[in-house]
């Protein structure tokens, strides 16, 4: 295939435009839906269990199947996979917007995730196949920068759409964007594939990791509502056993979706453990914080979207500075300091007496954004340098999948912790408020909705919202431990500098 000589060429610019738009559909969808989720939950009168699965179903498919999709693109054509992913994502988006019930919405989100898992890995693969040399570097840099800008715009746009058009338009807006991506891809992209790819695809591994993760997530989400019983404990044990079998299978198959030999490198393992802990903490934050701001504090969806901008601005602004600072202080120093500052931000969420925006949310977000801004660039650089050059794409895909799986598990586990703390504190707060038996009964009937409970008595509403904030503080404290664990992992597994692994 003839490659573009530079991204500035007309065809090259169209390819970048298509891949940026396509990637943006997947990357910002989770954030936008998180902003809309409190409104969706109250609109359907749904339980917290259902609300969590709107995010978890989408992330489960993305995290578990992304590596398989990358192999499918290499084998059968990256352009074909990319276009197919956009079409499936658009159909899933339309069905999400039309969903009459929460179960229908969750099913449509699974379809969306299936489209996203085809679309996301194909984007960078197409750029890699369409450019070479310095042009490829410029194209990847342009893709990264514009995708980051799209990520910054996403929460604000999502909040505005929810407030002025309704939550269903959060999904409908994807359809014209997807149509534009398909039109560009059909006319401007050339097909590419790995002509050397051979052997069977690891379908068994993909099935095992999906079932295993799904069972573990189900166990923690349900335990937050019903407690631990035979059903939830059985699901957790079954999921853990399935994941153990997955590891054994990956050691023996010809083309594993997770090549375990890469983890023999200490730095590669350390970076991925760091990613798992740190992005697990962030996944929990960005799922639960909109519930606090919209349902407990009474902010609009638009304001809640704007509230995320300092975090995103700090990551974008500090990443370039941190990339240069690597050569002055070393990666290990930054990868200890950044997660530690992030942990301090989570401690602020847990400890500050007032969690309204200016008094509590903004200071915490600034600390977390600063920590992540110092972390992202060194983390990516260390990841790339920890593997042979021909494995960079695979290593990036593994790290991306780990970050999504971390968020998936964190929402489930932290959600169970939040629910337990919410129920305990709700009983205490109802007693302290001296609520009558009828008022207690009203609250008990909607415990499963937590902050989304639709109550008419202001005292009842105040008690429920305060108990939810108590639960959020417990989850934030757990996130602080995860971030601190990430800093300790960096200290224990990384040397002062890493060098590219030998080929």
Quick one: tokens of 207? 């099935």
HSE of 177, CA atoms in CB hemisphere, 13 A = 22
CA distances for 409 relative to 215, 261, 415, angstroms: 11, 24, 10
**Cβ–Cβ under 8 Å, residues 36 and 301:** yes
Same domain, 188 and 213: no
Backbone angle region of 395, left / alpha / beta, with phi > 0 → left and psi within -120 to 50 → alpha = alpha
Say which residues have a Cβ less than 8 Å from residue 129's Cβ, sequence separation at least 6. Answer: 1, 3, 78, 192
Same domain, 67 and 215: no
Decide if pLDDT at 211 tops 60: yes
Lowest mean pLDDT of 341-345, 381-385, 418-422, name the range: 381-385
Lowest mean pLDDT of 82-86, 130-134, 353-357, name the range: 130-134
Same domain, 492 and 420: yes
Same domain, 96 and 133: yes
**Cβ–Cβ under 8 Å, residues 189 and 21:** no
Query: Closest by alpha carbon to 120, among 401, 414, 481, 459?
Result: 401
Domain extent at residue 446: 258-503
Quick one: tokens of 298? 């009474």
Lowest mean pLDDT of 353-357, 397-401, 423-427, name the range: 397-401
Decide if pLDDT at 177 tops 50: yes
Tell me which of 40 and 201 has the higher pLDDT.
40
Q: What is the CATH number of the domain that holds 276?
A: 1.20.1250.20
pLDDT tens readout for residues 112-165? 999 988 887 777 678 767 776 667 667 766 676 677 667 667 777 888 898 999
Tell me which of 185 and 322 has the higher pLDDT.
185
Predicted confidence at residue 10, as pLDDT, reads 56
Decide if pLDDT at 11 tops 80: no
Query: Closest by alpha carbon to 416, among 239, 165, 245, 225?
Result: 225
**Cβ–Cβ under 8 Å, residues 7 and 13:** yes
pLDDT tens readout for residues 16-44? 888 888 888 887 777 788 889 999 998 89
Predicted confidence at residue 102, as pLDDT, reads 94
| Number of structural domains in the chain | 3
Q: What's the pLDDT band for 2 if we cut at 50, 70, 90?
A: very low
Query: Which residues on adjacent β-strands are paired with residue 183?
Result: none
Q: In whole angstroms, what is the distance from residue 381 CA to residue 164 CA?
A: 41
**Cβ–Cβ under 8 Å, residues 480 and 346:** yes
Same domain, 242 and 178: no
Please identify, among 215, 237, 252, the residue that sits at the C-terminal boundary of a domain: 252
Q: What's the pLDDT band for 271 if we cut at 50, 70, 90?
A: very high
Predicted confidence at residue 62, as pLDDT, reads 82
Same domain, 210 and 192: no
Q: What's the pLDDT band for 7 if we cut at 50, 70, 90?
A: very low
Same domain, 119 and 244: no
**Cβ–Cβ under 8 Å, residues 302 and 160:** yes
Q: What's the pLDDT band for 221 if we cut at 50, 70, 90?
A: confident
Predicted confidence at residue 136, as pLDDT, reads 66
Predicted confidence at residue 500, as pLDDT, reads 45
Alpha helices in 99-195 (DSSP H): 102-130, 133-164, 169-172, 174-188
Same domain, 211 and 277: no
Q: What's the pLDDT band for 64 if we cut at 50, 70, 90?
A: confident
Predicted confidence at residue 137, as pLDDT, reads 60
Q: CA torsion angle for 483, 52, 166, 88 (degrees, to 10)?
A: 100
Query: Closest by alpha carbon to 453, among 45, 179, 85, 131?
Result: 45
Mean pLDDT throughout 255-270?
Answer: 87
Predicted confidence at residue 73, as pLDDT, reads 76
Tell me which of 31 and 166 has the higher pLDDT.
166
Decide if pLDDT at 8 tops 80: no
Q: In whole angstroms, what is the distance from residue 305 CA to residue 301 CA?
A: 6
Highest mean pLDDT among 19-33, 164-178, 385-399: 164-178
Q: What's the pLDDT band for 199 if we cut at 50, 70, 90?
A: confident
Tell me which of 327 and 241 has the higher pLDDT.
241
Same domain, 459 and 318: yes
Which residue's structure tokens are 């269903």? 168
Helix (H/G/I), strand (E/B), else coil: 308: coil
What's the mean per-residue pLDDT of the chain?
Answer: 85
Same domain, 266 and 280: yes
Mean pLDDT throughout 335-364?
Answer: 93
Quick one: tokens of 245? 């079998």
Same domain, 165 and 227: no
Which residue's structure tokens are 């337990």? 420
Please identify, among 180, 196, 212, the residue that sits at the C-terminal boundary of a domain: 196
Same domain, 26 and 156: yes
């Amino acid at each position: 295939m003839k490659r573009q000589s530079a991204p500035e060429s007309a065809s090259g610019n169209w390819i970048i435009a298509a891949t940026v738009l396509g990637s943006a559909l997947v990357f910002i969808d989770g954030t936008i839906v998180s902003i809309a989720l409190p409104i969706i939950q109250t609109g359907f009168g749904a339980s917290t269990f259902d609300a969590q699965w709107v995010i978890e179903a989408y992330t489960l498919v993305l995290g578990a199947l992304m590596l398989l999709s990358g192999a499918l693109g290499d084998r059968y054509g990256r352009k074909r996979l990319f276009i197919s992913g956009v079409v499936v994502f658009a159909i899933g988006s339309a069905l999400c917007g039309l969903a009459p019930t929460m179960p229908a919405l969750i099913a449509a989100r699974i379809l969306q995730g299936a489209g996203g898992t085809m679309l996301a890995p194909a984007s960078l693969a197409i750029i890699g196949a369409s450019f070479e040399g310095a042009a490829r570097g410029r194209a990847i840099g342009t893709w990264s920068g514009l995708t980051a800008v799209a990520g910054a715009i996403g929460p604000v746009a999502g909040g505005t759409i929810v407030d002025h058009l309704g939550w269903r338009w959060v999904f409908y807006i994807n359809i014209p964007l997807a149509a534009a991506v398909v039109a560009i891809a059909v006319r401007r992209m050339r097909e590419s594939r790995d002509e050397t790819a051979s052997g069977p695809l690891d379908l068994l591994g993909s099935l095992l990791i999906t079932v295993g993760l799904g069972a573990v997530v189900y166990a923690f989400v349900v335990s937050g509502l019903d407690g631990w019983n035979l059903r939830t404990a059985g699901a957790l044990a079954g999921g853990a056993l399935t994941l153990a079998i997955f590891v054994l299978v990956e050691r023996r198959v010809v083309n594993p979706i997770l090549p375990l030999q890469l983890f023999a490198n200490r730095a590669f393992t350390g970076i991925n453990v760091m990613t798992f802990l740190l992005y697990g903490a962030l996944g929990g934050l960005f799922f639960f914080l909109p519930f606090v701001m919209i349902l407990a504090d009474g902010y609009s969806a638009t304001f809640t979207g704007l509230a995320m901008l300092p975090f995103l601005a700090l990551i974008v602004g500090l990443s370039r500075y941190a990339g240069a600072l690597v050569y002055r202080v070393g990666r290990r120093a930054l990868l200890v300091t950044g997660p530690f500052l992030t942990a301090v931000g989570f401690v602020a969420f847990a400890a500050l007496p007032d969690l309204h925006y200016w008094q509590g949310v903004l200071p915490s977000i600034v600390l977390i954004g600063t920590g992540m801004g110092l972390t992202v660039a060194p983390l990516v650089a260390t990841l790339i340098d920890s593997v042979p050059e021909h494995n960079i794409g695979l290593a990036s895909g593994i790290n991306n999948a780990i970050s999504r799986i971390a968020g998936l598990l964190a929402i489930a586990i932290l959600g169970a912790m939040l629910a337990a703390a919410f129920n305990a504190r709700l009983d205490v707060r109802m007693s302290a408020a001296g609520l009558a038996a009828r008022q207690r009964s009203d609250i008990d009937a909607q415990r499963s909705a937590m902050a989304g409970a639709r109550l008419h008595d202001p005292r009842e509403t105040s008690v429920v919202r305060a108990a939810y904030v108590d639960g959020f503080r417990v989850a934030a404290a757990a996130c602080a431990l995860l971030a601190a664990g990430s800093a300790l992992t960096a200290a224990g597994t990384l040397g002062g500098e890493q060098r590219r692994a030998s080929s």
